[in-house]
Amino acid sequence: MTTAIYLAHLNPMTNAHVEIIEEQKKENKVVVMPVRFLNEKKEINSKSFPFNFETRKKMIESVFGDSVTVSSNYTFFVPFKKYFPPLLSPKSWSLRKKILQEIDDDYFTYTGDKAEGLMLKLYRLNPRVGNRKLVSATSVKNEMYVAAQGTESSWEKYVPSSVAKIINENWETVKKFAPVEDMTVRIAGMKFPKEGYNSK
């Protein structure tokens, strides 16, 4: 059976993510890899990446149970700049090796982003580029941050009810990042936390 590898932020998991995974599950084994940014063993979170890996794993499993595999193999370690330039950096190839570490079958990677699809193609990760969904995790996050600052928001309708429950259980995290500046940097079409990008 072919394995569909879904590399994504899932921060938070939205109805659009669920739709994508459901589509891939019809004919493939699905491995979901929520991206992690680590400083040694400590995960770096920010306004763009508020929920840690374990919380996002819980979101995925609340919807899909054990019908999909959630893997932590899509992990960047500080300093993130060592993954660039793409193709020339040994770190970037070690990440590819890690992504494929537990994949035994034929596989492809899934993305809804054309720029990311090109990058995955350069790394021979067999990308399939789908259509970008209307609801993005960024727009849902922004609605959550509005709600955390006291303004009425309809963010819950864009996520599964089980995920909304998990987000509400972690509402202090939302409140923590709502008023702060978004400390991210975009390189080669991908967002990274500024913290740790240049760290030794």
Tell me how far CA of residue 23 lies from CA of 30, 38, 192, in angstroms. 10, 30, 28
Residue 15's domain comprises: 3-193
Q: Does residue 113 lie in a domain region?
A: yes
Q: Does residue 200 lie in a domain region?
A: no
**What whole-number percentage of the chain has pLDDT above 90?**
84
Residue 143 CB contacts under 8 Å (≥ 6 apart), including other chains = 153, 154, 155, 158
Provide the pLDDT confidence category of residue 200 given band limits of 50, 70 and 90: low
Tell me how far CA of residue 151 lies from CA of 26, 100, 156, 178, in angstroms. 39, 43, 14, 12
Query: In CATH, what number is assigned to the domain containing residue 111?
Result: 3.40.50.620
pTM for this predicted structure: 0.95
Q: What is the pLDDT of residue 86?
A: 86
Q: Does residue 55 lie in a domain region?
A: yes
Distance, CA of 19 to CA of 17 (rounded, Å): 5
The first and second tokens of residue 118, run together, are: 């090109």
* Structural domain count, the chain: 1
Q: What is the pLDDT of residue 119?
A: 87
